[in-house]
Amino acid sequence: METAKEQAAQYTLEPATDIPKSNHYYLNMGPQHPSTHGVLRVLLEMDGEYVIKAQPVLGYGHRMHEKMAEHKNWMAFMPNTGRMDYAAALPFNHGYAALFERLCNIEVPERAEYIRVITSELNRLVSHHLWLGAFLLDLGAFTPILYTFDDREQVLDILEDITGSRLTYCYFRVGGVCKDIDDKFVERTRAYIKRQRERFKVYNELVTGNIIFLKRVEGVGIISPEMARRYGATGPVVRGSGIAYDIRKAEPYSVYDRFDFEIPTGTTGDSLDRYLVRLEEMEQSLRIIEQALEQLPDGPYLGKVPKKLKLPTGDANFAVEAARGELSYYLVSGGGDMPYRLKIRVPSYSNLSLLPELAQGMLIADLVAAMGSLDLVIPEIDR
Amino acid sequence: MPPELLRMIITAVLVVAFVFLNAMILGYMERKISAHIQRRPGLMEVGPHGVLQLIVDGLKLIGKQLVVPEGSSPFLFRLAPLLSFAPCVLPFVVIPFSRKLQAVSMDVGLIYILAMTSINVVAVLVAGWASNNKYSLFGTFRSVAQAVSYEIPMLLSLLAVIMMTSSFSLEGIIEAQKYYWFILIQPVAFIIYFVSGLAETNRAPFDLPEAESELTAGFHTEYSGMGFSFFFLAEYANMFTVCSIATILFLGGWKGIPLPFYDYSGIIWFLLKVYGLLFVMIWARWTYPRVRFDQLMTFCWKYLIPFSMANLLITAIMVKII
C-alpha cells in the first residue's frame, strides 16, 4: 500500500521549463490571489515583470459533476448544473433540460420556451455585470464594481421572485419551467430594461472613455481569429477577435430564431474589444427580452412529461450559448433513467487554454488585464 | 526643568499626537468618502456615523500578533515599519500651521521636509527585502523606481517657486504670497507637483507598489498588526506632508480671511486647504483605474520632467526680466 504522501508525490508539478535561466524565477499566481477569481492557479516563469511562460494548474475546485450525472436521474442532477457556472446558471439549466427533451422527443410549450429565453438573457446580464465589475477591479478601479452590483441586484431581485434563488438556479425542468411568470414579473422587467439603458451611459462616461482604462486594455492580450479558432475559444472571446460565432444564430435553439438581434464583434481581438463586445451584448440581451415580452404567448408553462423518464438507448447533444460561450452537453444513454455518460463542454475551459500562448512575453499587469477580459469562472473549468 | 527641554517635550508629544489624529481623520475620511462615491453608507456602527470606528480598529491592530514569516530576516522585518514611521513624523516639526504655531523655524525648512519624506523609500526597500516574499519584492522594486523617478519632477516644480521667493524657509514663502497665491502664476508647477505627490505617496492611480489585483498587497503583504499599521500611519502622514507643502508653496499656507487671534487661528485656513487637497487625492483614488508600471515611468520621464524643466526655464527667464 502506498501512503498518502507517496501518492501525492506522484502528482508533483512539472516545472514550466526544465532548468530556469539564472535570472528567471517562478511565481505562483493563485490558488489564492485577488485576480484569479476563485481557485485558479497559474504557475508563472518570470523574468523581472515579464511573463516568460504561464501554465494554468486546474483541479482545485473539482467536484466530479460529470461522474455524479451518471448516478442521478435528470431531476436529481439539475441542481448540479447551476453550480458549475455560478455566475450564469440558467443557460446551464437550459442546456441540460433541452438535452433530455431532444433525447426523449418531448414537446415544450411555447410559453415555456419564451420564459426560458427571457430568464436566460436576464441571467446573461447578471453574469456580464459581475464580469464588468470584477474586470475593472482587476485594473485597479475600485468603484465600478459597486455600481454594477447595484444593477445586478435589480435583476437578481426579479429572478429571485420567480425562481426562488439568487445564484445557483434550478428553475428549468424537462418539458418547461417549474413556475410561471406573472404580470408583475413582466412589469418589473420592463422597468429594469428602461433603467439599465440609462445606466449604460454612466458606464460609458465613467469607464469607456477613461484614458487610463484605454491605455491598460488597448492592444493588450491580442487574440487573432486563427488563434481563437485553434483553441476552440467561444463566446465574447472569439467574437472579440472578429468571428461572429454565436450558437443563438449559428444553430438557433429554443425560440431564438424569432428575435431580431445582432452579434457584436470586435476588430483587433484585444481586451478592449472583448470589453466592448460584452457591453454591446448586454444591450442585445435587453433587445431580446423586450421582444420576447412583446410576443409572450399564453398557455401552459410545463409540458406533459412522464413521472419517471425512460431514456432510449442512444446519444444526444445539445449546445446553448452560455454567458461565456458555447456550452454543450453530450449524453450517451444505455436505457434506464440515468445517463451512461455525460460530457459537458464548457466555454471557460477552452478560453483558458489559450492563456499560455497569450501570456508569453506579457507584463504581469497585462496578464491580469487579459485574464480578466477572458471572464473565467473556475468551478466551470474544474467541474 | 529648563524651558527649552520642556518645549521640546511638548512639541514631540503634540506632533506624535497630531500624526495619530491625522491618520484617524484621514482613515475616516477615506472610508466615508469612498462609501459615498460608491453609493453606500460606509461606517455606521461604532459611534454616531461610525466616528469611533478608527479607534476600535487601532485597538484591534495593537492587539494583533505580528507574524514574522519563515525565512525572513527578523531584525530587518521588525525594523522596517519603524523606519517608515519615524521620518514621517519629523516634517511636522517645521510645518507652519499658523503665524505662531510652528515648533521650529528653519531657514531650510523645505529641504528638510523633502529629505525626511524620501527616507520612506529605504523603509519600503527593507520591508520588501526582509519579507522573503516574491510579491513583496515586486512591490519594493516598483516602489523604489517610482519614488526615485518622481522625486525629480517634484523638486523641479518646487524649484520654480523657490526661484521666485529666493528662500527655502517656509514662513518666507508664505510671506511672499502676500497679495496672491502662487498657484495663479505657477499653475503648471502646482499640477506637476500634485501628480508627483500622488505618485510619491503611492496613491491611486499610481499605487503600483501595493497594486492589489496584481501583487496582493505589495511590500506590506507579510505585515500584520502594528507592523501594518505603522505603514498605514506613515502613508497618511506622508499624504498630509505632501499636501501641506502644496498648501504652503502654492495656496498661501495659513493665509485667508483674517479671523480673531489670527496668529493662531490661521491654522483653520491651513487645515481647510490641506484637507481640501487630501479630499482630491481620495477622490482620485476611488475614481480611476490603475496605470501600468511602464506607462507610469513613461509618464514621468517623457512628460512630467520635460514639462517641469520648461516651466523652470520660463520661470528663470521671467524672474530675470522682472
- Output the 3-class SS for A26-92: EEEECCCCCCCCCCCEEEEEEECCEEEEEEEECCCCCCCHHHHHCCCCHHHHHHHHHHHCCCCCHHH
- pLDDT exceeds 80 at position A63: yes
- For the segment A113-122, the average pLDDT, to the nearest whole number, is 90
Q: What is the CA radius of gyration of chain A?
A: 21
Q: Kindly report the nearest CA distance between residue A152 and chain B, in angstroms.
A: 15
Structure confidence at residue A18 as a pLDDT band (50, 70, 90): low
Write the CB contacts of B4 (distance below 8 Å, at least 6 apart in sequence).
Answer: none
Comparing CA positions, the residue from A355, A381, A350 lying closest to residue A51 is A355
Contact call for B138 and A49, based on CB within 8 A? yes
User: Nearest residue on chain A to B221, judged by CA atoms?
Assistant: A33
CA pair distance A62, A299, nearest whole angstrom: 41
Q: Tell me the residues of A at the B interface, defined by beta carbons under 8 Å apart.
A: 25, 27, 33-35, 49, 136-143, 146-147, 150, 206, 210, 212-213, 215-216, 363-366, 368
CA pair distance A329, A172, nearest whole angstrom: 15
| Backbone dihedral angles phi then psi of residue A334, each to the nearest 5 degrees | -115, 30
pLDDT digits (tens, 9 = 90+) for A168-189: 888 888 888 888 888 888 899 9
**CB contact at 8 A, A46 and A379:** no
Contact call for A34 and B216, based on CB within 8 A? yes
Q: Which residues of chain B have pLDDT under 50?
A: none
Contact call for A365 and B138, based on CB within 8 A? no
CA pair distance B131, B110, nearest whole angstrom: 33
- For the segment A364-378, the average pLDDT, to the nearest whole number, is 86
Show me where the domains of chain B are located: 3-321
Is residue A6 assigned to a domain? no
CA pair distance A110, A114, nearest whole angstrom: 6
Contact call for B288 and A368, based on CB within 8 A? no
Q: What is the dihedral of CA A178, A183, A186, A187, to 10 degrees?
A: -150
B63 burial (CB, 10 Å; 0-12 / 13-18 / 19+) is: exposed
Closest Cβ–Cβ partner in A137, A140, A368 for B205: A140
Instruction: HSE, CB side, 13 Å, CA atoms: give it for residue A172.
Output: 34
CATH of the domain at A250: 1.10.645.10
Q: Cell 476611488, residue?
A: B286
Is residue A43 assigned to a domain? no
Instruction: Indicate the length of chain B as a whole number.
Output: 322
Q: What is the CA radius of gyration of chain B?
A: 20
- pLDDT exceeds 70 at position A13: no
Contact call for A363 and B294, based on CB within 8 A? yes
∠ CA A361-A365-A371, rounded to 5°: 85
User: Nearest residue on chain A to B142, judged by CA atoms?
Assistant: A49
Structure confidence at residue A74 as a pLDDT band (50, 70, 90): confident
Contact call for B293 and A213, based on CB within 8 A? no
Is residue A366 assigned to a domain? no
**Residues from chain A contacting residue B207 (CB–CB below 8 Å):** 140
Give the per-residue pLDDT at B251.
Answer: 85
Comparing CA positions, the residue from A261, A240, A252 lying closest to residue A131 is A240
DSSP state of B91: G
- For the segment A205-213, the average pLDDT, to the nearest whole number, is 84
The rounded percent of chain A whose pLDDT value lies above 90 is 8
Give the per-residue pLDDT at A165.
Answer: 87
Is residue A136 assigned to a domain? yes
Amino acid at B201: T
Range of the domain at A159: 69-346
Q: Cell 427571457, residue?
A: A118
CA distance between the termini of chain B: 52
Give the per-residue pLDDT at B121.
Answer: 84
- pLDDT exceeds 70 at position A299: yes
CB-based burial, A73-109: b 16+ in 10 Å, e otherwise: bbeebbebbbbbbbbbbbbbbbbbbbbbbebbebebb
**CB contact at 8 A, B95 and B169:** no
Structure confidence at residue A4 as a pLDDT band (50, 70, 90): low
Q: Kindly report the nearest CA distance between residue B209 and chain A, in angstroms.
A: 12
**Residues from chain A contacting residue B34 (CB–CB below 8 Å):** 142-143
Model-level pTM greater than 0.90?
no
Pairing, β A314-322 against β A176-177: unpaired
**Residues from chain B contacting residue A25 (CB–CB below 8 Å):** 134
Give the per-residue pLDDT at A208.
Answer: 85
Total domains present in chain A: 1
Contact call for B38 and A35, based on CB within 8 A? no
**Residues from chain A contacting residue B134 (CB–CB below 8 Å):** 25, 27
Please give the grid coordinates belonging to residue A108: 415544450
Comparing CA positions, the residue from A91, A160, A99 lying closest to residue A120 is A91
Please give the grid coordinates belonging to residue B2: 529648563
**CB contact at 8 A, A266 and A274:** yes
Q: Kindly report the nearest CA distance between residue B262 and chain A, in angstroms.
A: 41
Contact call for B138 and A137, based on CB within 8 A? no
Q: How many helices (H) and strands (E) does chain B have?
A: 13, 0
* 3-state SS assignment for residue A330: strand
For residue A269, give Cα distances in angstroms to A242, A284, B257, B292.
Answer: 7, 20, 58, 20
Comparing CA positions, the residue from B50, B43, B120 lying closest to residue B80 is B120
Contact call for B213 and A137, based on CB within 8 A? yes
- For the segment A370-378, the average pLDDT, to the nearest whole number, is 87
**Residues from chain A contacting residue B214 (CB–CB below 8 Å):** 35, 364-365, 368
For residue A107, give Cα distances in angstroms to A212, A303, B236.
Answer: 52, 7, 66
- pLDDT exceeds 70 at position A20: no
Please give the grid coordinates belonging to residue A337: 433513467
**Residues from chain A contacting residue B138 (CB–CB below 8 Å):** 49, 364
Enter the ipTM: 0.78
Contact call for A142 and B285, based on CB within 8 A? yes
CB-based burial, A327-365: b 16+ in 10 Å, e otherwise: bbbbbbbeeeebbeebebbbbbbbbbbbbbebbeebbbb
A19 vs B288 pLDDT, higher one? B288
CA pair distance B55, B296, nearest whole angstrom: 35
> Sign of the CA dihedral A91, A97, A101, A104?
positive
- For the segment A148-164, the average pLDDT, to the nearest whole number, is 89
Contact call for A140 and B211, based on CB within 8 A? yes
Contact call for B291 and A368, based on CB within 8 A? no
**Residues from chain B contacting residue A54 (CB–CB below 8 Å):** none
Contact call for B287 and A143, based on CB within 8 A? yes
Q: What is the dihedral of CA B80, B81, B83, B89, to 10 degrees?
A: 170
**Residues from chain A contacting residue B287 (CB–CB below 8 Å):** 141, 143, 206
Give the per-residue pLDDT at A14.
Answer: 54
Q: Cell 508539478, residue?
A: A13
**CB contact at 8 A, B237 and B207:** no
Is residue A204 assigned to a domain? yes
State the best of A26, A142, A216 to mutate against chain B, taking most chain B CBs within 10 Å: A142
